[in-house]
Structure 1
Amino acid sequence: MEITLTDNIEKTYKSICRICHGGCGVIVSVQNGKVVKVKGDPASPMNKGWMCIKGVMTPEIANHPDRLRTPLLRKGKRGGMQWESISWERALEEIARKLDALKKEHGAESIALGQGTGRHHYMHVVRFANALGTPNWYEPGLAQCFIPRITVSNIMYGGFVVGDYYGDVPPKCILFWGHNPLVSGPDGELAISVKRALDKGAIGIAVDPRRSETAKRCKQWLPVRPGTDAALALAMIHVIIKENIYDKEFVEKWTHGFSELREHVKAFTPEWAETITWVAACDIVNAARTYALNKPAILEWGLGIEQNTNSLQTVRSIAILRALTGNIDNPGGDIIGKNIIRSYPTLKEKLPEGMLKKRLGADTFKLLGGWRAFMPSAHIPALFKAMRTCDPYQIRALLIFGNNPLTTVANPGEVYESLQRLELLVVTDLFMTPTAALADYVLPAAFWPEVEQVIGYPLVVENMVMAQQKITQHAECRQDEWIINELSKRLHLPGSEESLEDVMNYQLEPLGIDYQKLKTSGFFYPPHQYKRYEEKGFRTPSKKVELYSKSLQRLGYDPLPTYKEPPESPVQSPELVEQFPYVLITGCRKKEFFQSEHRQIPSLRKRRPHPQAEMHREVAAEKGINHGDWVIVSSPRGSIRMKAQVTEDIHPRVISVEHGWWFPEKAGPEFGVWESNANVLTNNKPPYDPAFGSYQLRGLLCAIEKEKT
């Protein structure tokens, strides 16, 4: 589109806010080529006029004086913060030339790609990796967030499921498991939809060590010991089967392996689970009854269930609850995606023969990097290890699109050492970050009002499709897809002749519309068709929901879910408990920030100026800590500094710390990245989940003390 910078008339445009990966429909006001206001679009089928505080502050972010404006070339030593502004032509030519040389001399596998979670360019980065010929790309979530849930859903149900908040029938019950959607609002499952359902009377059950913002709206709160969710789910399955409150018609007709499951869970009583989970047996029974007897019900699950070394079986055990209660693809329950647009053309067929075997971790973690993986990618610990140690071969170059791994990847000390060993590091981002400060080239990225995209929502199920349109242009910032396409052209890669609009039109073709038409209407939302499985069955080998999974059994994994104690825990690591007596969770989110972003935005930072560690009043009293004191939180791996938040709304033996902290106002190149970074406390060491390679980010051991003055 053409943007007239001298136009003083305020104009409005329809678009989709992607400041996180929520997807609120918005109306954007532009004056003199700049965003001046963003408000929710009442016509949007998702948010219906609502917006979060981050989205409202879009003009402040888009027009921030510290945004990157032009490509930068490092001068002097890495991390020296000496930069030369260069043209896009020079930056792209030099990067392409270096990539080509590395590929020819060391193979495409020596080049890795990294990216942030759920961004507009997500699938385009995967496309670039395949075209380039490298099997090694990563995103910090994957094994730790969302991919286990998607994969398990595909294996069990033949498709991903999402809560039906948009139909005519409201849910009677919502079971929130390791999920706080009133703050996080992920993947098109927006906070406002959940809030409205609870406002209409849906009974809420929250499984969370914290009484989170969502849990405070629930009638039942189960403060589970972090990392023991599988034991809790198995006990709930036990209750539902023993008390005959499962959906007998659905189970008999549409599930496979019920008899095996019934026998399997006989020993998993609520009393057995109480000793493991710290949740009273009577509360487990009440939660199971509430969920099973109040239909339709939605099960809202979050990444809290995936950040452990038993990720596959934890997700499996929870997923079974939907099938037992018949809450699959019925109005007001969990519905299977329609996938109304074509899958993104990632050019996976262009990945050269033999490269699958070179993908780091693929031979071990089959559901992360193998042929059955939903989105085959490298194992992050193996990838960074290959940068440091050349084992099994050396990763020499890393191109990062919208990711700050020094704050978002476990064990940032190793990440820092790994990045220092690279021959080429390119970072594309909105602002200078601790990771970008180490780069050879820093490229200025477009913010969401400067981006074109077609997006299906909720993510993966794609029951509706929306258009994001380029409305403004900030300095020389460019959309990540444009950068990738320009590099692809210079490298003469497959697919480089196709434009981004070609790709979007390919996705939209089954709907009989193109990007330009969708941009005008804003969204396309056909009515949902419930219980489609009654016509052709589920898309699984048995055509039923697979409670007992032969597919997993053939891959070498348990066909029925099991519980395993976390490797670092009060039970498994008694030698550490005296020094580290509390259990740590590290993923707390706040409305003002998305992952490690927006801490340089005054209006947002004013609302949330300091990183916080949440603890129970009993802990604070024992340690002489008052609300607002600076405290030191330590684990066997390191220590960080945070402000004390003293509350009753957390299990007395659990400490919760916020994720993603660094300090843009402090001097580079470090920007205070080591001071309050939750990942200083986390562990990326084995054992890993045998299917996904997930590692333990929650349920770790920690200590807390008042900071000495």
Structure 2
Amino acid sequence: KSDVWLQIRPGTDCALYMGMINEIIKEDLYDEKFVEKWCFGFEKLKERVKEYPLEKVEKITWIPKEKIKEAVKVYVENKPATIPWGVKNDMQGRNSPNIIQAKAILRSITGNLDIKGGDALWGPSKKVVGIHELELNEEISNEQLRKQLGSDQYRLGMWPGWERVSKAQRKVWKPEKFQYVPRHDCTGVPHPLIWQAILSETPYPIKAIICQAANPIITCANSKRVHRALKNPNLELLVVHDHVKTPTAMLADYALPAADHLERTMDPIHLAVDLAYAAGEPVVVAGKKPVEPKYERKSDFWFWRQLALRFGHEEYWPWENEEELWNYCFDELDFSYEELAEREKNWEEFPVKHEKYRKKDPNTEEQKGFGTPTGKVELYSTILQELGYDPLPHYEEPPESPISSPEKAEEYPYILIAGSRFRYMFHSEYRELESLRKIYPDPEVEINPSTAAEEEIKEGDWVWIETPRGKIKQKAKITEKVHPSMINAQHGWWFPEKDSEEPELFGAFESNINVCTDDEKGRSPEIGSWPLSSLLCKIEPVR
């Protein structure tokens, strides 16, 4: 249980953080020495956050200002402190980048950045070949880069932004054999643009999709449009490589069985990234496959390598199996992948270094600083400015809320929190496992007792959840955890026990909350993300 619980109105996180920053600056609670030496744009930030007094923030967020003050006190008085990434930062549409930037500012001005016990800054390993080196994104020509869907609209999240980020990072993480700053990292395409391109063939047609370990009909917003796109004749080829038959797999031209995690070696670098996020430490792991893949099941490595060989890319895939690849990644270590896999403790942690920005460059004898254009923590982002965006975070009211859409709120009076996770299952995985379904047989929507009484809903009732996009049903779970004006719906539901053929598709549209979500309105102009936690809905019992 938390010491302070801030029950926030969904979609207003940025206003909360800006209010906290304002309070910290106003009360001189920030780390003056760190800000003066290592931060850029403090005075401009100071002026911006004056727009967020706690009285105003209270009205926006529905959090009493005294609670916010209490949270500020707990944070600044308990240094070193961390702010976890969480799961909703990138799910709030136009506010998403502002939330992430405001959180980065909050940890920076309090001196909690890259210190022991604070928020770690970690970069490419000097000893292990990572996933980015293997991607060979530097082989992509500029002509091809310009074709990236959305790169003209969502410039920060696409290659124009990453080119600038990578250039700045290379000043600190100088390219070496095993210290590689990728040309493009974490850049993809907002999936609404993919469905749009399939359906309209603009800005160009998309003819084929390879879908691996994904179930977009369930996990992507606006599920009905995803379904239309994947069935459209404009899409000439859909290949799915997965463990089980999912609703998406049922639409595939080729559904290929994937090797289970017990039928392949443990991936030391993807999993290591997850562990590093969790522990704040660089780490590698290893594990032998207990059994060979049965039947026609094939590993991800086998799938991509065989495809590459057929395209004539042998030079990029010299390893004949996963063990050879992992040993290539471990080449600079004093142990092999197999040796690590044999150990009782099958992971290796490397020393964690803090305050790396203070380290001197041996060539210049100057402190390295941060991987930004100014070499400092950019409270005022010069990259955002160069790309034509607001360099400072700011709050915008969600496009579908009781404040911005009062007429719509009359018909849809509740705020929908979509995409909530729950124990035992992850995204759309594990619905086929009988042991887990015995624990969690049905999808649940959390509703406040007063809301349930108002709508004549009892514990365990099936409830209709409806938005302007669609209507689904989940079982009511009555709880005080949820604000009376909000409902909290689970994410990722489908029913492997139901008919697999169209139109049922394992009940893909029966309890899948993404039938109700929208991927069109309120997208972030910087990265193209869409809101999932601040939509309007109505509820009623299934009669």
Asked if 1 retains the 8 angstrom alpha-carbon contact of 2:15 and 2:52, the reply is yes
| Residue-pair matches, total | 492
Q: Distance in 1 between matches of 2:402 and 2:85?
A: 25
Cα distance in structure 2, aligned partners of 1:364 and 1:349: 22
Hey, what's the Cα distance between the residues in 2 that align with 1:337 and 1:507? Answer: 18
Query: Letter of the aligned partner of 2:122 in structure 1?
Result: G
Q: What does residue 294 of structure 1 align with?
A: 78
When structure 1 is superposed on structure 2, of 249-258 and 587-596 the one drifting more is: 249-258
Structure-2 residue corresponding to 1:691: 526
Q: State which of 273, 280, 284 in structure 2 corresponds to 1:465.
A: 284
Inter-partner Cα distance in structure 2 for 1:334 and 1:510: 28
Amino acid at match of 1:491: F
SS in 2 for 1:428: strand
Aligned match of 1:175: none
Is residue 318 from structure 1 mapped to residue 103 from structure 2 by the alignment? Answer: yes
Matches within 5 A, 1:426-575: 426-452=239-265, 453-455=267-269, 456-457=272-273, 458-459=275-276, 463-473=282-292, 474-493=294-313, 495-499=316-320, 500-521=322-343, 522-535=346-359, 536-575=368-407
Q: Secondary structure at the match of 1:578?
A: helix
User: Given the alignment of the two structures, is residue 247 of structure 1 paired with residue 6 of structure 2, yes or no?
Assistant: no
- 1:596 paired with 2:428, answer yes
Supply the distance in 1 between the matched residues of 2:58 and 2:50 (Cα, whole angstroms).
15
Question: Hey, what's the Cα distance between the residues in 1 that align with 2:420 and 2:383?
Answer: 35
What SS class does the counterpart of residue 592 from structure 1 fall into?
coil
- In 1, are the aligned partners of 2:10 and 2:417 still within 8 Å (CA)? yes
In structure 2, stretches of 5+ residues that fail to align are 163-184, 360-367
1:707 maps to 542
For the residue of structure 2 that corresponds to 1:702, the secondary structure is strand
- Contact 2:161–2:387 (8 Å) recurs in 1: no
Please tell me whether the aligned partners of residues 9 and 61 of structure 2 are also in contact (alpha carbons under 8 angstroms). yes
1:37 corresponds in structure 2 to none
Deviation at 1:462, TM superposition (A): 5.9
1:386 to 193, 197, 201: 197
Residues 251 and 353 (structure 1), Cα distance of their counterparts in 2 relative to 1, 3 Å cut: closer
**8 Å CA contact retained: 1:342, 1:508:** yes
Provide the identity percentage. 42
Deviation at 1:469?
2.6
User: Which secondary structure state, in structure 1, belongs to the residue aligned with residue 540 of structure 2?
Assistant: strand
Letter in 1 for 2:116: P
Residue identity in the other structure for 1:533 = Y
| Matched letter for residue 461 of structure 2 | D
| Contact 1:363 1:370 (C-alpha < 8 Å) held by counterparts | no
Counterpart Cα distance in 2 of 1:497 and 1:359: 28
Partners of 2:350 and 2:159 lie apart in 1 by 35
CA contact (8 A) 1:368 1:379 kept: no
> Partner of 1:355: helix, strand, or coil?
helix
Q: Does residue 102 of structure 2 align to residue 343 of structure 1?
A: no
Give the Cα separation in 2 of the matches to 1:540 and 1:254.
11
The equivalences for 1:144-183 within 5 A come to: none
> Aligned to 2:407, what secondary structure does the other structure show?
helix
Matches within 5 A, 1:32-181: none
* Structure 1: distance between partners of 2:120 and 2:157: 25
Aligned counterpart, 2:180: none
RMSD of Structure 2 on Structure 1 (CA): 1.6
CA distance in 1 between partners of 2:311 and 2:323 (Å): 20
SS in 2 for 1:465: strand
Cα distance in 2 for residues equivalent to 1:335 and 1:696: 28
Q: CA deviation at 1:339?
A: 3.6
Note the alpha carbon deviations across 1:218-277, whole angstroms, 9 max, x for none: 011111111110000000001111111112222222211112211221121111111111
Aligned residue identity for 2:349: Y
298 and 462 in structure 1: CA distance in 2 versus 1, 3 angstrom threshold: closer
Among residues 585, 593, 603, which one is paired with 2:417 in the alignment? 585
Given residue 343 of structure 1, which amino acid in structure 2 is its aligned partner?
G
Give the conservation status (yes or no) of the 8 Å contact 2:288–2:338.
Answer: no
Structure 1 pair 392–663 and aligned structure 2 pair: CA distance change class (3 A) = same
Secondary structure of the residue aligned to 1:598 is coil
Distance 1:357 1:338 in 2: 27
The whole-number CA distance in structure 2 between the counterparts of 1:256 and 1:512 is 41
Q: For the residues of structure 1 that align with 2:195 and 2:252, how far apart are their CA atoms?
A: 16
CA contact (8 A) 1:427 1:439 kept: yes
**1:593/1:556 CA distance change after superposition, 3 Å:** same
Q: Which residue of 2 aligns with 1:177?
A: none
Gapped runs of 5+ residues in structure 1? Answer: 1-216
Letter in 1 for 2:152: D
- TM-score by length of structure 2 reads 0.88
Give CA deviations for 1:18-49 in whole Å, capped at 9, x if unaligned: xxxxxxxxxxxxxxxxxxxxxxxxxxxxxxxx
Does the 8 Å CA contact 1:387/1:394 hold for their aligned counterparts?
yes
- The separation in 2 between residues aligned to 1:472 and 1:459, in whole angstroms, is 28
**TM-fit CA distance, 1:459:** 4.8
Q: 1:147-192 CA distances to partner (integer Å, 9 max, x unpaired)?
A: xxxxxxxxxxxxxxxxxxxxxxxxxxxxxxxxxxxxxxxxxxxxxx
Question: Counting strand residues as a fraction of each chain, which structure ranks higher?
Answer: 1
Aligned AA (2:105)? I
